[in-house]
Structure 1
Amino acid sequence: MDTRIGLLFLFTISSCIALECSTCTHVAIEYTNMPASIEGPLNAQMSTLNSLRNEQCVSNSAPTETCEVAGPGFNDTCTSLTFTMTCMGFQTADLANAGMTIEIVDRECSASPEGTEDTCRKLNTLGGAESQAAILLALQSLTTQFDSVKYNGEYCTSTTNSGSSTMILMPSVAVVLIASYLV
């Protein structure tokens, strides 16, 4: 292959590789041992969240979108945040065995600095003490309503085309074919 074609190929293929990621949100609330007389009004209050229930997002099989091309020094990245919170001992109604579990999954395209490795990190390791304090402050209202509030989850990043991600190379192939025809 002519050196000019090889350089053209390398130049065009690098800008035509695209990362595709699921872009979705899932929110679900499940009740444990909650009397129907209490679960009904709680469900009514939370009814707007029902539109965010997306099982495809949980299984990472939701439709994908091509990520925007990241700026210089950055790579396109698929990110996923999973968060589960379990609240037990509903104090308001004096129900020690009643509670609820809230599950949140959020997937999207993002940009990460070049050289960033694919990782999954537990939520309690993200940021510092200040970030953890902010999470606990946000959960504080629940701790006054439940005996026990526990949460866990992780934040994952991937710059590789694995799982539901795909590579788009067709424009590069077309450019190489046209360039080889012209030479």
Structure 2
Amino acid sequence: MRMGLKPRLILAFISIIVLPIIVSVLFMFLFASGMEEQAGKSEDELDMLLSEVKNTIDRNAANLSEPELFYERVRPLLKKYDIELAVYSSEGESLFDSAEHQMRIDSSFFLSRLGKLKVDVSTKERGELSVEIQAKSFSVAPFTQFKEVILALVGGIATGLAVLAALIYCGRGIFQGRFSFL
């Protein structure tokens, strides 16, 4: 028994539009289900990073007038977290930028947008400073959480598109009468 045109169109609409969306959301949900446990750990690591940055800047604020010396003092922190630091005065004047002292690797779009944090630091010598922390990669905690979110999103979209392509391919066969299961 063959289906009429109206049921075929309804089935095509449901399968082509709804099914890829459901598969994408399901993929992201399953991929992200393990991330809840890691979120608390990542938050603790982020707090530790911010605390270390504040303490390091506060201890070495007197050396900001000598960028080379200041860089030598903060370099262990930069290497530990694979980050770059930019320090600004309360007026917005650039006091230090570690990118001037490190080999610069062109960062990706995601790194330049997601891997950037700003924190205010009160120092004894310089008063209120603003520090910009830029991740150089997503491979070091606490920035690994960003990578996992991006993978979940991209994987969900790719899975949805793959299901859509498969449905379109199979749909051509259904409408041309190659598949008789309907």
In the superposition, the TM-score normalised over structure 1's length comes to 0.26
When Rg is computed on C-alpha atoms for both structures, the one with the higher figure is 2
Higher strand proportion (structure 1 or 2):
1
Higher helix proportion (structure 1 or 2):
2
